[in-house]
Structure 1
């Protein structure tokens, strides 16, 4: 088997506690652009076609493993935080099934590392028949990083940590990222790493000397963008990583045909799918499994989570959609809220301050203003008047209502579930409907109006002093009444 034909195994080190994050959530599970940080490393490994991927867990192991459980991903526990060399061995021991693979080491807190960079690293490693290749970067000031010291041939001679570096070595700008590709000797050599140092830990960087002692060449592959290996160690680092990924994601969508009026204000998680000629106005947030088809416009400051928008949909400003499916040509908002289980078929109009939940609205349904439609199915071309409420909850259970096609529901009506309203029925404004309405019938369910003559003069006259202080216009009216 040639080097280029060898399989690839990946070990992801994700056992650290991350005390600087100051969180009950394990550091590597903090989300960045829609995925836990460690999930970015798993995704990168999968993009390389890794044969096996082992995530080394420690702090919060159960949570981390539950979040990443999927085919092709295995786990190894690091019992005791004894350094990167110790963590690597825990992962290497879980790589059962042969010793013919190259091994790539990644980290659970570096979400910015691009799959393209890793493919180039692996290609360089194999093209030069390298035994050990280090991914490096260059900074104007590499303070805090281990420095890469090269020999006359340009290969890596050693890594010098900040504390042990001479002034000349501290001036070196090339740094060690901690990402390595190694041949199949790495696990056996790692067992020879000692903890003979001030911290009493096993450092994976000590592998370099062990490889060189065997006469192996150690290469460095330099990053074009050192931000790729930036770790997120605290909340500030997390926000910085989020900003970088957001710019990448937005740029990718714009190159694919999406218009953003103010891309710096738009936040799109990596899991979102967008079609061509989509327009996103300022402040839009798209999360989770949201899929938006061609020609959709999402208005300013709208938030969409796990929702599907079909072609030609318009979502107007300040609308919130969660777990909703909006059919072609429909429009929603402004200030509308579609809750989980909402399905709008083609050409539906949902206006301002309308809320839906577990509702299915047929083609051409219109609900223009101030309505609550929960646990309801509404037939095609029905008109829902302003202030309509489907009273779906009796204090203990939720009940479902069915409204037929072509129904007219007058303003300020209440449908007390469970109800069935037949096709072409008419509900008079202000009705509290507590019985089913047959097809083609009109329901009037309100008290008879009674006008009491002279009531205002008697009532407000008795409160004349307060009226004079607070409602001068009413006091004037009372004076004119004598």
Structure 2
């Protein structure tokens, strides 16, 4: 495939979304629509990607800058005067560039890299100046129609400008094109002679043909790939399609899903074979789950890595690194910065945050372990609290390996507990404890004579 660059049109207001957020920033399977489109293009190794922004451009621009990809350039369409006008705004970014230009919208998040690659190849294969990605749909309402003379593309007619006979055509324009360098001259000849008084990119097909150039189409067999997202209903439908594709991929890869209609898995999630997802599991973005794991009940997992053989039961996990054969839950809250090593157990109604817990240690019930380092084979009794916040700053608790912590113990950080210490239940620890020592920090129990007044 020849070298190419891409232009992504993302300037529209997206009024049908009825949102304060730009349409292309709405998320599908955990990622903004525009990022999904960009990722599909990046897999083909373009020379550059120029994104045309308009409505609330500062929001989209900030996000694109956070991707930190030098191939992504930004230009602006200050007045939304149509798709051809939008592409014109990208022209200065391609000064002296003679390669092909892939053009697509920022609201077609399901398009696959393989389909885009086939479209790009079709341009040279047909010796054309433009190739249009087409699809056949049962209900073409709202789409531009592909009008052919036998098998050759003649023109594209928008819904509002189509005749009665043209509206019967079910082959539609996806809004995705690849052009050769002749596109820039063709854009200069586009006129707003249509019902919306806009500059249509579709008009360039007819313009190029009249100048003696050839126009071609490439038809995808997966019509869902070219479905645009224009409103919340479209977004929900796209989510359903993306999830269905992901579920099929996981099943074929050896993952067991007890009830596929009652789980959610982000498109970028990676799950190993022999893992079992029970109904209610929600695997959000940036997750890697190993082999032979069990995700049971209404568990939510995001931005986390979970090692082989681990078991998550009715728990919330975000931003954690979890090693092998770890057991979490039920009803545990694992917050960002948590690192759980092999064979760790975090039980019911326990919470961790910025805590590193070494292998074979247990936090079985009703405890909060925050800003802490816990050594190997430590037992944390029920009701243990690391008191890490003094009202202004956070402080760390360090507990050495082999320590036994009784129930209802408070660690007033910063404190350092030596290896093999034994801490009596009910203690409030305010000072460091040497290794191997027994610490008791509670009031002496006293018995008083019971006095009953009449």
TM-score scaled by structure 1? 0.90
Work out whether 1:202 is the aligned partner of 2:213.
Answer: no
1:80 corresponding residue in structure 2: 79
In structure 1, distance between residues paired with 2:298 and 2:95: 50
In structure 2, distance between residues paired with 1:162 and 1:363: 64
1:304 corresponding residue in structure 2: 301
In structure 1, distance between residues paired with 2:359 and 2:112: 44
1:89 corresponding residue in structure 2: 88
1:470 corresponding residue in structure 2: none
In structure 2, distance between residues paired with 1:59 and 1:228: 25
Q: Check conservation: 1:54, 1:95, Cα contact below 8 A.
A: no
> Going by fraction, where is helix more abundant, 1 or 2?
1
Change (3 A) 1:141 1:273: closer
Which stretch shifts more, 294-303 or 420-429? Answer: 294-303
Which of 172, 177, 187 does residue 190 from structure 1 map onto? 187
In structure 2, distance between residues paired with 1:313 and 1:345: 11
Q: Check conservation: 2:161, 2:194, Cα contact below 8 A.
A: no
Deviations 1:87-108 (A, max 9, x none): 0111233123421x12111100
Q: Check conservation: 2:333, 2:349, Cα contact below 8 A.
A: yes
2:144 corresponding residue in structure 1: 146
Shift of 1:399: 1.1
Work out whether 1:271 is the aligned partner of 2:272.
Answer: no
The secondary structure found in structure 2 opposite 1:375 is: strand
Work out whether 1:25 is the aligned partner of 2:21.
Answer: yes
Work out whether 1:60 is the aligned partner of 2:59.
Answer: no
**Higher CA-based Rg:** 1
TM-score scaled by structure 2? 0.95
Deviations 1:132-157 (A, max 9, x none): 111112222312222222103x1111
* Stretches of structure 2 lacking an aligned partner (at least 5 in a row): none
* Stretches of structure 1 lacking an aligned partner (at least 5 in a row): 463-482
Q: Check conservation: 2:155, 2:203, Cα contact below 8 A.
A: no
2:4 corresponding residue in structure 1: 8
Work out whether 1:375 is the aligned partner of 2:371.
Answer: yes
Would you say how many aligned residue pairs link Structure 1 and Structure 2?
451
2:334 corresponding residue in structure 1: 338
In structure 2, distance between residues paired with 1:55 and 1:361: 45
1:105 corresponding residue in structure 2: 103
The secondary structure found in structure 2 opposite 1:204 is: coil
Shift of 1:321: 1.1
1:209-358 aligned at under 5 Å gives the runs 209-316=206-313, 318-358=314-354
Work out whether 1:412 is the aligned partner of 2:412.
Answer: no
Q: Check conservation: 2:31, 2:285, Cα contact below 8 A.
A: no
Deviations 1:297-332 (A, max 9, x none): 22221111111112222112x111111111222211
In structure 1, distance between residues paired with 2:299 and 2:426: 32
| CA RMSD, 1 decimal | 1.7
Work out whether 1:163 is the aligned partner of 2:160.
Answer: yes
Which stretch shifts more, 43-52 or 407-416? Answer: 43-52
Q: Check conservation: 2:275, 2:294, Cα contact below 8 A.
A: yes
